[in-house]
Each structure stands twice: as structure tokens, then as C-alpha cells.
């Protein structure tokens, strides 16, 4: 059976580079207009040129999100923006608004049109209508079951692709079309400014009893509403492949590079035939809420614990260089991401090898003119340090250390 595309998020150039390094087939990102993640770093049009160039060098494609719901005043800049995307060489644009679709089609005719999950496509007839308008991929509504997705795939034109989210945060509204953020704060989720009020702590207060609060569901930490679990389909990729899904998508354009690298690496190994049970624990290492399988096999689960994120590991180093020594070992220079100490047990995340450990030996701070000064701690952000390794490492390999408190906030 055809292996689906692995589609990764990139909130900035660093996330994009790590997604490519760890095996993404395609990247989705946004510029500073028309996307739904305005809190992400995002890309200027100038930066987009570099992003597309880098991705294409890795034989990966770039999809740009234009999935905000537009008002008339928003559309004035869209024709010029569409032409700029086409000139930059992007491979597809992800849209939800039919007006935006029409303008992109007119002003960027060589760019493929993908329909965002924000459009809430949940049946084949809707998909066929959008196909007639020029769309060639549907990002399924998150509320669809796997059985419904398989049926949709069988019922649409053969050259129309189906994409589904497989990992990351779940919105509590219909495919993310939420009004709560706008209502409570004046910041519209449908235009990229969501403040995630579904993660807040709430109580009920009866108008005739001011100051008296009533719980809905309570645990030892408090009372919470509307707080969904994170999606995780790593152990069910075989079922998605059987359903004929063309692309599996990782949520997370506001996530850091460590998160993107770890998740992409796990899904890449399983897509390439490795046992998912061997990689499931990897997804516990990064910041996440309790996992579920979303709506794929029934109703999605909710968590009554607000913002109970756990993260087992911290990213402490990025490999800069690795050079052989006369004794058969390797001198490794790393950029410091978080503090680590002489004697620490670190784990190495690399696309070139299974996960392995090393002990920090020969720790030195590296200064100009290649001066190495022995030290006990690496603690200068993005400073260069050297260690000795028994195993060859590669530029951009990740060094991580286990947290003492997995529940601490980032």
C-alpha cells in the first residue's frame, strides 16, 4: 500500500529545518497574513523564499496556510499576496474561505489548492463540490471517524487527496471554528488570534447567589470545562494506511523545534516500518497533555484537568560538529540550549541511529581561536561547548536530559 506523506508544522525557520532533518515529506507554515496561528513566529515573504529553497533541496514540499476567514477589507491585499506565493515557489495553499479560494485560483493558478479542516468537510458531496472549484486535497474535519474517512476517500475523484491530523492539540469546537476566544477576549480564533480559553479554569455562579460557585466536574486540582486531550495516532498508522489516507499531519505551528523534531522522528520511523510500540514512549518525552485517539474510533475523550502538561526531557544541546580523535573516539561541539553538567547522562536523538545515551566527558567551553577551557557546567545559551563521545554524532543531532520534575512549566 502507498505510504502517506508525513506533513510537519513549522512556526519558524528553526522548526522547518528540524522537521526536514528528521524526515518530514512536506511542511506547512504561514506568512504574517491570512493564517490561523498569529502567535507563531511565522515567515516574512523574504524568509519564505529561503524556506521553500531549503525544503525543495530536501525534496520536500511547502504548503502555506491562508485559512483565516476573511472580511472584505482583508481581501484587498490578497491578489498581490497570492502572486508572491506563486513566485516564491510554494507547492500548495491551504484555504477555508471560498472567497480566498477564488482569489488564490485566479492570481496563483500554478499553486495547488488544499481545503483546511476549518472548512469542516465531513462528506464526499462537499468534497466533490470543492473539487469542482479546483481543490485537490481535503483536510478532513476532525470530528470524522476513521470509517467515515475511508468511505469519503472511496467516493471522491481518484486525483483528490485526503489529509488528516494524527498528532497534537485538539480544539473543542467544530474543527476549530470556535467563538469563545472572540466572545471572552475580543480575539478571534477564526482569524488566528485564539487565546485558548478552553484550557482555562471555570466555575459556575448562579445570578441569585453571587459569590457561590458550583462545580461541574472536580478533581484534586480544581474544576475544569472544555479541555480536550491531545491526539496521538502513532500506534494506529497501519489503519490509516489501509483507509487510503494520502497525508498525515502533525499539529503544532506554535511548538518549539524540540517538539517538532521528536514527533516527526517517531512518526517517520513507524511509517518506515518500525514497530510503533518501540516509539510510543518517545511521544511522552515532549510537552503534552493526556493522549487520546480523538474521534477516529468514537467520541473524543475530554480531560477534566486543565493544562496538566507533562514533559519528561529537556533539550540541552544541538550538535555543531563531530570530528574523530586519535583514540577512536570523537570530539563533539554543541550549541547549549539548556544547562547540563559534566557527568550528566544525556540521550541522543538522531535520524541516523536509534536512540542512545552518552555521559558528558571532557566538558569544555569553546572560545574564539578554538580555545577550549575545561568547565563543570554548560549554561550559556547558544554558547559552544565541547564533549567527548564514543559514538560519531552529526550536525543537528539533539542532546536531551531527563527532567527531575516532568510537570514543571516550560
| pLDDT-derived band at 216, boundaries 50, 70, 90 | low
Q: How far apart are CA 157 and CA 124, in angstroms?
A: 10
Cell numbers at 217, concatenated: 466536574
Answer for the pair 50, 11: CB distance below 8 angstroms, yes or no: no
| pLDDT-derived band at 69, boundaries 50, 70, 90 | confident
High-pLDDT (> 90) share of the chain, %:
70
Residue 3 burial (CB count, 10 A): 13
Is the pLDDT confidence value at 19 over 80? yes
Q: How far apart are CA 382 and CA 42, in angstroms?
A: 22
Is the pLDDT confidence value at 184 over 80? no
Q: Using CB atoms within 10 A of its CB, is residue 212 exposed (0-12), middle (13-18) or buried (19+)?
A: exposed
The string of DSSP letters for 64-126 reads EEE-SPPPGGGGGGHHHHHHHHHHHT-SEEEE--HHHHHHHHHH-TTSEEEE-GGG---SHHH
How confident is the model over 267-274, as a mean pLDDT? Answer: 96
CA neighbor of 137 nearest in space, from 115, 169, 165: 115
Cell numbers at 55, concatenated: 525544503
In order of their start, the domains of the chain are 5-173+227-292 (3.20.20.70), 313-402 (2.40.30.10)
What pLDDT does 303 receive? 57
What pLDDT does 70 receive? 84
How confident is the model over 148-155, as a mean pLDDT? Answer: 97
What pLDDT does 298 receive? 80
Q: What is the pTM of this model?
A: 0.86
In this structure, of 100-104, 296-300, 359-363, the range with the lowest mean pLDDT score is: 296-300
Residue 168 burial (CB count, 10 A): 18
| pLDDT-derived band at 381, boundaries 50, 70, 90 | very high
In this structure, of 86-90, 163-167, 219-223, the range with the lowest mean pLDDT score is: 219-223
Please count the CA atoms within 13 angstroms of the CA of 309 that sit on its side-chain side: 13
| DSSP type of residue 201 | B
| pLDDT-derived band at 124, boundaries 50, 70, 90 | very high
Is the pLDDT confidence value at 369 over 50? yes
Q: How far apart are CA 249 and CA 9, in angstroms?
A: 8
Q: What is the mean pLDDT of the chain?
A: 88
What pLDDT does 86 receive? 98
Q: Where are the alpha helices (H) located in 219-256, listed in sequence order?
A: 237-242
How confident is the model over 64-89, as a mean pLDDT? Answer: 92
Q: How far apart are CA 171 and CA 175, in angstroms?
A: 7
CA dihedral sign of residues 318, 237, 66, 52: positive
Cell numbers at 126, concatenated: 462537499
286 vs 6, 163, 232, CA distance in Å? 19, 24, 13
Greatest alpha-carbon pair distance for the chain in Å reads: 81
In this structure, of 125-129, 211-215, 223-227, 232-236, the range with the lowest mean pLDDT score is: 223-227
What pLDDT does 74 receive? 84
What pLDDT does 224 receive? 47
Is the pLDDT confidence value at 193 over 70? no
Is the pLDDT confidence value at 236 over 50? yes
Helix 98-107 / helix 78-88 crossing angle, nearest 10 deg? 50
Answer for the pair 270, 4: CB distance below 8 angstroms, yes or no: no
Q: How far apart are CA 114 and CA 197, in angstroms?
A: 28
What pLDDT does 180 receive? 67
| pLDDT-derived band at 310, boundaries 50, 70, 90 | confident
CA dihedral sign of residues 82, 85, 91, 97: negative
| pLDDT-derived band at 89, boundaries 50, 70, 90 | very high
Amino acid at each position: 500500500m502507498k505510504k502517506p506523506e508525513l506533513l510537519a508544522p513549522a512556526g519558524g525557520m528553526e522548526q522547518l529545518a528540524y522537521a526536514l532533518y528528521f524526515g518530514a515529506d512536506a511542511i506547512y507554515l504561514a506568512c504574517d497574513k491570512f493564517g490561523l496561528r498569529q502567535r507563531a513566529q511565522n515567515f516574512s515573504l523574504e524568509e519564505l523564499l529561503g524556506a521553500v529553497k531549503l525544503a525543495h533541496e530536501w525534496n520536500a514540499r511547502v504548503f502555506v496556510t491562508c485559512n483565516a476567514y476573511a472580511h472584505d477589507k482583508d481581501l484587498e491585499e490578497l491578489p498581490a499576496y497570492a502572486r508572491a506565493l506563486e513566485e516564491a515557489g510554494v507547492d500548495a495553499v491551504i484555504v477555508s474561505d471560498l472567497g480566498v479560494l477564488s482569489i488564490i485560483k485566479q492570481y496563483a493558478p500554478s499553486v495547488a489548492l488544499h481545503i483546511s479542516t476549518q472548512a469542516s468537510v465531513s462528506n464526499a458531496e462537499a468534497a466533490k463540490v470543492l473539487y469542482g472549484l479546483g481543490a485537490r486535497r481535503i483536510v478532513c474535519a476532525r470530528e470524522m471517524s476513521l470509517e467515515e474517512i475511508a468511505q469519503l476517500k472511496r467516493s471522491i475523484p481518484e486525483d483528490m487527496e485526503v489529509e488528516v491530523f494524527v498528532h497534537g492539540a485538539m480544539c473543542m469546537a467544530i474543527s476549530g471554528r470556535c467563538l469563545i476566544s472572540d466572545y471572552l477576549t475580543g480575539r478571534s480564533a477564526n482569524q488566528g488570534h485564539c487565546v485558548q480559553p478552553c484550557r482555562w479554569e471555570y466555575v459556575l455562579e448562579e445570578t441569585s447567589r453571587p459569590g457561590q460557585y458550583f462545580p461541574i466536574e472536580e478533581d484534586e486540582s480544581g474544576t475544569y470545562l472544555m479541555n480536550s486531550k491531545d491526539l496521538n495516532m502513532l500506534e494506529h498508522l497501519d489503519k490509516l494506511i489501509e483507509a487510503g489516507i494520502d497525508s498525515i499531519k502533525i499539529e503544532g505551528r506554535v511548538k518549539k523545534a524540540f517538539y517538532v523534531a521528536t514527533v516527526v522522528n517517531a512518526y517517520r520511523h513507524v511509517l518506515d516500518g518500525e514497530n510503533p510500540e518501540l516509539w510510543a514512549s518517545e511521544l511522552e518525552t515532549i510537552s503534552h497533555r493526556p493522549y487520546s485517539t480523538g474521534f477516529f474510533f468514537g467520541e473524543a475523550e475530554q480531560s477534566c484537568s486543565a493544562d496538566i502538561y507533562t514533559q519528561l526531557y529537556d533539550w540541552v544541546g544541538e550538535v555543531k560538529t563531530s570530528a574523530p580523535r586519535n583514540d577512536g573516539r570523537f570530539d563533539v561541539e554543541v550549541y547549549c540550549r539548556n544547562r547540563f553538567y559534566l557527568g550528566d547522562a544525556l540521550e541522543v536523538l538522531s535520524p541516523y541511529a536509534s536512540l542512545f545515551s552518552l555521559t558528558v566527558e571532557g566538558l569544555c567551553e569553546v572560545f574564539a581561536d578554538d580555545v577550549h577551557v575545561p568547565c563543570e557546567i554548560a549554561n550559556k545559551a547558544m554558547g559552544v561547548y565541547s564533549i567527548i563521545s564514543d559514538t560519531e554524532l552529526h550536525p543537528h543531532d539533539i542532546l536531551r536530559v531527563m527532567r527531575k520534575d516532568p510537570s514543571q512549566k516550560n
